[in-house]
Structure 1
Amino acid sequence: MKSIGAAISLALCTSMLSLAAAAASDDQMQGAAHRHGAHDHGASLVGKSGDPAKVTRTVVVDMNDTMRFSPSTITVKQGEVVRFVVNNSGKLKHEMVIGSASELKEHAQMMMKFPEMEHAEANQVTLAPGMSGNLVWQFDSAGKVEFACLQPGHFEAGMKGIVAVEGKM
């Protein structure tokens, strides 16, 4: 009898530990998503969500399974509002996320930990194979702004690009 009671106690303990671990994982995921979302509210050094009525130029960007963007370097003027028409010509899901080098690296690491994480932010467009989407962005500060695909493994494979923001003359 004692061994049955001990087995039941052990099973209950194991179940409770599993539930606690799952809850901690959910809390980490929500915290990570919250931290990521903090990058997208208001203006930042990389710019802000642009007003579609104020678009001054459209740039077509292709994403493909060679883990590259085409073009991978884009030049804009400070203050310019750009509509990116982003095409996924590959057979894998890809995304274009605009951010600083540190934000993109942090987000890529988070995506490796939580590969099923879904998110929709103003600074990104995520596309299934064969799909197209738009991203409108205003570049407020001169300097270098980066973009990348943060699907697990894609950033690490070199799927990155640069927006060179030229200062006002």
Structure 2
Amino acid sequence: MTSRRRFIAAGIASGLLGFTSMARAHGDAAHTGKAKTPDAAEQQAWGIAGAPGKAHRTIRIEMSDDMRFTPDRIAVRLGETIRFEHHNTGAVLHEMVIGTPETLAEHAALMMRFPDMVHDEPWMAHVPAGEKAEMTWTFNRAGDFEFACLMPGHYQAGMKGALIVR
């Protein structure tokens, strides 16, 4: 089962069965902002998890409570591995999730329905207020992708950006 299907199934199951109180919430200490190191990287339409030591460059991303990312447009070369350094300058939890416009819209809708869903994928970085986090991603697929904060209401307020891979 793919990560996306597991994610959707887990979210629906936890919401329908009432086990959300047993799950860690998005805002709890379980989201440390530490870089994720997957055991087996899974290819996504927008790329694959990258090894932190293999990054070609670092891009600093600021997240703010005005529901914006700075920068909000990033150009990447096909095959490039990027180390994203996230800085949450706000007072609430933010995240950066990479995906296609369709997958991000689906995920944002699920987050509105099941705000306590637990998920932790290598293309996601959760950053508590005033803290930093890192994510390393290899862009081995060309296309027009996006990144967004999918915390309930943030995506809907316009907290997203363009990610162009050529």
Common fold: TM-score over 0.5: yes
Task: Give the structure with the larger helix fraction.
Answer: 1
CA distance 1:55–1:113, shift in 2 (3 Å): same
Q: Please, which runs of 5 or more residues in structure 1 have no aligned partner? A: 1-21, 30-39
Aligned to 1:128: 128
Structure 1 letter corresponding to 2:16: S
Q: Deviations over 1:34-60 (max 9, x none)?
A: xxxxxx961122001111121000000
Please give the alpha-carbon distance, in whole angstroms, between the structure 2 residues aligned to 1:116 and 1:23.
9
Report deviation, 1:28.
9.9
Please give the alpha-carbon distance, in whole angstroms, between the structure 1 residues aligned to 2:97 and 2:111.
13
Structure 1 segments of 4+ aligned residues over 6 angstroms from their partners: none
Question: What does residue range 1-169 of structure 1 map to in structure 2 within 5 Å?
Answer: 25-26=16-17, 42-166=42-166
Structure 1 letter corresponding to 2:17: D
Please give the alpha-carbon distance, in whole angstroms, between the structure 2 residues aligned to 1:162 and 1:140.
17
Q: Partner of 2:103: helix, strand, or coil?
A: helix
CA distance 1:27–1:73, shift in 2 (3 Å): same
Please provide the CA RMSD for this pair.
2.1
* Percentage identity across paired residues of the two chains: 42
Task: Output the TM-score relative to the length of structure 1.
Answer: 0.74
CA distance 1:57–1:23, shift in 2 (3 Å): closer
Please give the alpha-carbon distance, in whole angstroms, between the structure 1 residues aligned to 2:54 and 2:15.
44
Larger Rg: 1
CA distance 1:162–1:27, shift in 2 (3 Å): same
